Amino acid sequence: MRNKLKEKLKAGKQTVGVWMSIPSPEVGEALATQGGWDWFVYDLEHSPLDEQIVNNIMTSVKGTDVVPLVRVPWNDIVMIKRALDIGAYGVVVPWVNNREEAIRAVRACKYPPEGVRGVGPRRASLGDPTYLATANDEILVIVQIETQEAVDNCEPFSTT
């Protein structure tokens, strides 16, 4: 597994993407094949999409440079692992209010000993014999800071 989006972000490059909420593989395919997009976020929190729909429409980015991400509805280990198992290269986790919640989201994305994700990657590992060995380093975890409590709990960080 190689996450081109994570590579670009680490290099400080700007990325461009689309927030997907239309349950149509044709829409995703039309956008993905036109080129120029770095990522799609499939929104399970505030759209009519669900895990099964995303499982079906995420195939529209296969063979393109688009990196599929899923915004899960909540910081829940089951929702996170299902999003990753169907092939997401990362998750967007809403309503993260403190360090402990952020750590919980990251641990849900990583296999032991770094995390608590169980092995059952279904589509994620198809045709990729390196998936289990590389997923911990390549999965992108984005936490959403959405409340005053979360802002108050943010610590200064360094990019070094």
Query: What digits encode the pLDDT tens for the residues 94-125?
Result: 999 999 999 999 999 999 999 999 998 888 99
- Asked if 19 contacts 41 with a C-beta cutoff of 8 angstroms, the reply is yes
Please state, rounded to an integer, the average pLDDT across all residues of the chain.
Answer: 94
Active-site annotation holds for 24: no
Q: Of 2, 10, 46, 122, which residue is the catalytic one?
A: 46
**Topology annotation, domain 4-153:** TIM Barrel (3.20.20)
Looking only at the bridges linking them, the beta strands covering 140-143 and 39-43 are unpaired
Q: Name the pLDDT band for 158 (thresholds 50, 70, 90).
A: low
Query: What digits encode the pLDDT tens for the residues 34-81?
Result: 989 999 999 999 999 999 999 999 999 999 999 999 999 999 999 999
Gap between the Cα atoms of 118 and 109, Å rounded = 9
Mean pLDDT of 22-31: 94
Residue 149 has pLDDT above 70, yes or no: yes
Q: Where are the domains of the chain?
A: 4-153
- Asked if 28 contacts 57 with a C-beta cutoff of 8 angstroms, the reply is yes
Mean pLDDT of 1-23: 97
Q: Name the pLDDT band for 15 (thresholds 50, 70, 90).
A: very high
Q: Which residue has the tokens 């996450």?
A: 3
Which pLDDT value is given to residue 157?
A: 64
Gap between the Cα atoms of 94 and 72, Å rounded = 7
As a dihedral over the C-alpha atoms of residue 18, residue 56, residue 94, residue 104, rounded to 10 degrees, the angle is -130
Gap between the Cα atoms of 29 and 57, Å rounded = 8
For residue 25, count other CB atoms closer than 10 A to its CB.
16
Which pLDDT value is given to residue 159?
A: 55
Q: Which residue has the tokens 């770094």?
A: 114
